[in-house]
Amino acid sequence: MSVFQAEAFVVGLKEGTKVAFAYLFVRAYLDSCNKKYLLRFLWAAFFIVFTVSLFSLKFPDAPQTKDLLTKAVGYNFALLYMLSLGLLYSKTGVDIWGPLKALFRKRFIEVLILILLVTVFALPDLSATVVYTKSQVRLKESILPALNLLMALLIAFCLFYLFLRKKTSFLSKMVELPELILVLALIKLAGGGTGGFANLSLIPTVQNGLTKLIHDIVHQTFITIMVPDHPILKTTTWNFIGIFFSQKVALWISLVVLFLPLGAFLISYLNKPIEVPEEIELPARRRKFIRSVKNRRLLHTMPVVLFMFFILSNWFVEKGQEGLRLYNPEPQPLVAESDRVIIPISSPGTDLRDGLVHKYTVEIDGENIRFLIIKRDDGTLVACLDACEICPPDGYAQAEGHMVCLYCRTPINIQSLGKAGGCNPIPLKALVTDKDVQIKVSELLEKWNLVKTGKSKVTIKR
Amino acid sequence: MKTVLKNIYNLLGSKALTFWMIGLFIFYYLTVAVWSKEAFGRFIQYISSNNLARALYIIFFVNVTLRIIKSLYGLKNRPGRLLLRLPLFLGIVLFLFSSFMSVNTRQSKWELLGEGDLLVLPWESLKFRVVRIESALKRDLLRMDDSLLFDYEPFITLIDTGGRQYRIGAFPPKKAGTTYMHILNFGLAPGVELRRDGKTLLKGEVALRLVPFGSVDSFELKGFNYTVYLHILPNRIIRRGQEVARNYDITAPLYQVEVLKGETTVFRGTSKQPILFDGYELVLYPPTFWVLLEVAHDPFYMAFIVALGLLIVGVVPFLISFLHKKAKA
């Protein structure tokens, strides 16, 4: 079995497991609240969503499509997570729904919500899998990866279903609606990656989103208290400020942001006063009742604890390393051919798809223009100038999992390369063929001018 | 009428409203951050310009304030706990208030200044003149590959119309009159003179981004169709084994100069030699310094700083009080 086929098989297993787990938990929930009639709607909704996802075969097999679908998967995970938080919050005794509560009990609304949930949960993931399979089939020029994926999907689903279907009575004790939604969010988090082996879980996407939020808040606070955001300060002050912008601090704060509402729920839910019905008079029975409520509550907190445990055990695996070793290769000189520079994807000793940054320099009209090419997490190649619009053009180096601006030490998410603005390297329009990457000379010159002539520069006239 | 007012009061002070307001913000942030970009920047822009966003923010602020007042009122018989929670609660209210007011009332500008320049600000009755700029670089400096960008924090000394002097650095900002000021950037401004037949056609200093050394910057000779590209070269290079040190004398820098007419290079060389082209002579003089000064008129600046302080200081006593309560329960 080739790597392509093995990858397709693993993706199939992952998707099958996701669907099986989700189905089992939903079924357990429907069992527990005597709403088995919704099962047929669940299957119908899943069938519709599956059919709709097949339309994504019509999507172009382009990085933009994959980017869009990755965003959709991440977005829907966040929606499910937020919804579960809201429901958990209401479970602590706060009435957040008000008059809407009566509306939710109507059958029609229940079915509608179920269809919506299935769509939110499954549509982007299924579409991403369809697009992934399509690209594998195209790359391999064979239907085998698709067959492998389908086979693995069915195997995983059947195995997990057969193995776990007897456990639904236990599961039904564990999940009410908030826990169910949280479990669905967890399933997406664990297996929502859309990039094959390179990206099986959604953890990096969630980390990037949260660290960006933390960075934005810190930056806005610094703007308000008028701290310069470039190293004009004394080194000690700058290093102190750098702590707040560091990836590690952002990761810790992100973890707190994720854990805080769940932790608050656990404290609040487990400490919620227990009201013993008046008709239970015997102290022994009252104690028994209290014990049973406490046990039930403990069972209900299991999915929350599981969610927290999963995040905690994965959070620092990829990005929690201590020392930052920078990889900054010497730029290789290139010569422009007619109106463009051409860089072969694979040449003796070099492969642009090796995940390392590749730097080049080309002399055009007496200018030495530096640029870089790197493979992003989604497998696409991206070309950028080795400079941004803000800092002096010191360039970038590669650290563990991200790029670093050598001037201001800002960490740049590799997946965000190709997007303009801020401290991101200036993106270059490049034609990526099967054999090479081609960049027009005019494009290089135009973008290099952005580096040379700072936009904010003004001359003092006397 | 009384019932309606009471209902409004209850709604404004409810946990459910806090939940929905926070939920709304997260939904907004999530949607914009994923499908568009710069969600937080846009949020700040909205609360400074959009009335709907302002109204929602004010509702949230009132909600939080009412809940905090209720919570503190509930602790009136427990002075210890009240005291422990007060700093954080005050910090939250002050933070929400001052950040909103600051965003809505702040006027700010970036001013590029050289020695002798006059700083006139629309909101300030005082005028300021730049008396002195203290360099961030040593006069004669040796640079290794891993050297710091600047050797010192730069300072600018201003004098106002009343004769008061202000020495302003990069951080923290200093108050001059009603304005907060601090340095955002520092650079060199080479003296430039364009001559023809011994006659001066242009003369002045040009603020350029030549630091870190090696950075190329350019300026145009106004009225003449020439663009001059400059970067600073080391006056001396010292090699010892693998180590390379570059010596720069910023009182007499050595420039790499390139003069372009349209797209044609008419001169390329260093400033050691006379810069002659098309009958013109370009003379470069020792540079002066420029700073980029950020000036802001913000009546709520101090309140924001105090709020941040209270938030940081208030977390620990709040946690102590919270854990103590839980332990008791």
Given this model, what pLDDT does residue B28 score? 92
Q: Which of the pair, B110 or A196, is modelled with greater confidence? A: B110
SS3 for A402?
strand
Given this model, what pLDDT does residue B25 score? 93
CB contact under 8 A, A86 and B23: yes
pLDDT interval class at A460 (50, 70, 90): very low
Q: Is the pLDDT of residue A440 over 50?
A: yes
What is the tens place of the pLDDT at every residue in A86-118? 888 888 878 888 777 788 778 888 889 889 988
Q: Which of B28, B40, B202 to mutate to test the interface with A (most CBs of A within 10 A)?
A: B40
> Other CB atoms closer than 10 Å to residue B321's CB: what's the count?
20
Q: Is the pLDDT of residue A133 over 70?
A: yes
Given this model, what pLDDT does residue A458 score? 36
Given this model, what pLDDT does residue B129 score? 94
Which one of A213-227, A274-288, B72-86 scores highest in mean pLDDT? Answer: B72-86
- B257/B217 Cα distance (integer angstroms): 10
pLDDT interval class at B145 (50, 70, 90): low
B88, B116, B103, B128: which is closest to B41 by C-alpha?
B103
**pTM (predicted TM-score):** 0.72
Residue A328 to chain B, least CA–CA distance (Å): 14
Q: Indicate the average pLDDT of chain A.
A: 80
Residue A92 to chain B, least CA–CA distance (Å): 12
CB contact under 8 A, A456 and B110: yes
Given this model, what pLDDT does residue A2 score? 67
Q: Please give the share of chain A, as a percent, with pLDDT higher than 90.
A: 2
CB contact under 8 A, A225 and B301: yes
How many residues would you count in chain B?
329
Residue whose entry in the numeric block shows the structure tokens 């000036």: B295
Q: Is the pLDDT of residue B52 over 90?
A: yes
Written as six digits, the tokens of B213 are 């050394």
Strand A332-334 relative to strand A358-364, pairing: parallel
Q: Is the pLDDT of residue A178 over 70?
A: yes
Phi/psi class of residue A39: alpha, beta or left (left: φ > 0; alpha: ψ in -120 to 50)? Answer: alpha
Given this model, what pLDDT does residue B89 score? 94
Residue whose entry in the numeric block shows the structure tokens 């946990």: B15
Q: Which residues contact A175 (CB under 8 A, 6 or more apart)?
A: A25, A28, A29, A32, A183, A300, A303
Q: Is the pLDDT of residue A322 over 50?
A: no
What is the tens place of the pLDDT at every residue in B170-224? 888 999 989 999 988 888 889 999 999 889 998 888 888 777 777 777 888 888 8
The yes/no answer to whether this complex scores an ipTM above 0.90 is no
CB contact under 8 A, B19 and A94: yes
Written as six digits, the tokens of A151 are 């086979």
Q: Is the pLDDT of residue A461 over 50?
A: no
Mean of the pLDDT values across residues A265-274?
Answer: 83
Q: Which of the pair, A410 or B20, is modelled with greater confidence? A: B20
Given this model, what pLDDT does residue A455 score? 37
Lowest mean pLDDT among A87-101, A109-123, A179-193, A443-457: A443-457
Mean of the pLDDT values across residues B258-271?
Answer: 87
What's the angle, vertex CA A298, arms to CA A294 and CA A304, rounded to 5? 145
Mean of the pLDDT values across residues B229-244?
Answer: 80
CB contact under 8 A, B184 and A267: no
Q: B289 at the A interface (CB within 8 A)?
A: no
Q: How far is CA A120 from CA B37, B252, B264, in A?
A: 22, 67, 60
What is the tens place of the pLDDT at every residue in A363-419? 887 778 899 999 877 677 889 998 876 666 778 888 766 788 776 666 777 877 877
Q: Is the pLDDT of residue B37 over 70?
A: no
- A11/A225 Cα distance (integer angstroms): 48
Given this model, what pLDDT does residue B147 score? 63
Q: Which of the pair, B49 or A214, is modelled with greater confidence? A: B49
Given this model, what pLDDT does residue B120 score? 92
Residue whose entry in the numeric block shows the structure tokens 């010497």: A330
Q: Please give the share of chain B, as a percent, with pLDDT higher than 90.
A: 38
Q: Which residues contact B241 (CB under 8 A, 6 or more apart)?
A: none
Q: B217 at the A interface (CB within 8 A)?
A: yes
Residue B65 backbone dihedrals phi, psi, to 5 degrees: -65, -45
Residue A457 backbone dihedrals phi, psi, to 5 degrees: -70, 135
Task: Using CB atoms, pick whichever of A209, A225, A456 lies closest to residue B305.
Answer: A225
Mean of the pLDDT values across residues B61-76?
Answer: 92
Given this model, what pLDDT does residue A171 score? 78
How many residues would you count in chain A?
462
Given this model, what pLDDT does residue B119 score? 92
Chain A residues with beta carbon closer than 8 angstroms to that of B149 = 231, 407
A406, A410, A409, A360: which is closest to A383 by C-alpha?
A360
Q: B145 at the A interface (CB within 8 A)?
A: no
What is the tens place of the pLDDT at every residue in A244-258? 767 777 778 888 888
Q: Is the pLDDT of residue A456 over 50?
A: no
Chain B residues with beta carbon closer than 8 angstroms to that of A407 = 149, 212
Q: How many interchain CB pairs under 8 A, A with B?
A: 139
SS3 for A11?
helix
Q: Which of the pair, B157 or A7, is modelled with greater confidence? A: B157
Task: Using CB atoms, pick whichever of A89, A235, A452 lies closest to residue B216.
Answer: A452
Written as six digits, the tokens of B284 are 């470069």
Q: Is the pLDDT of residue A320 over 60?
A: no
- A292/A287 Cα distance (integer angstroms): 9
Task: Using CB atoms, pick whichever of A79, A213, A228 lies closest to residue B182.
Answer: A228
The type of residue at B194 is L
Given this model, what pLDDT does residue B58 score? 96
The type of residue at A297 is R
Given this model, what pLDDT does residue B39 score? 82
Q: Which of A82, A225, A448, A461 to mutate to test the interface with B (most CBs of B within 10 A)?
A: A225
Given this model, what pLDDT does residue A1 score? 61
Q: Is the pLDDT of residue B248 over 80?
A: yes
Strands laid side by side in the B254-261 sheet: B217-221, B226-233, B254-261, B264-270
Q: Which of the pair, B145 or B298, is modelled with greater confidence? A: B298
Cβ burial B95-116 (10 Å sphere, 16+ → b, else e) = bbbbbbbbbeebeeeebbbbbe
Mean of the pLDDT values across residues B60-83?
Answer: 91
Cβ-contact B325, B89 below 8 angstroms? no
pLDDT interval class at B304 (50, 70, 90): very high
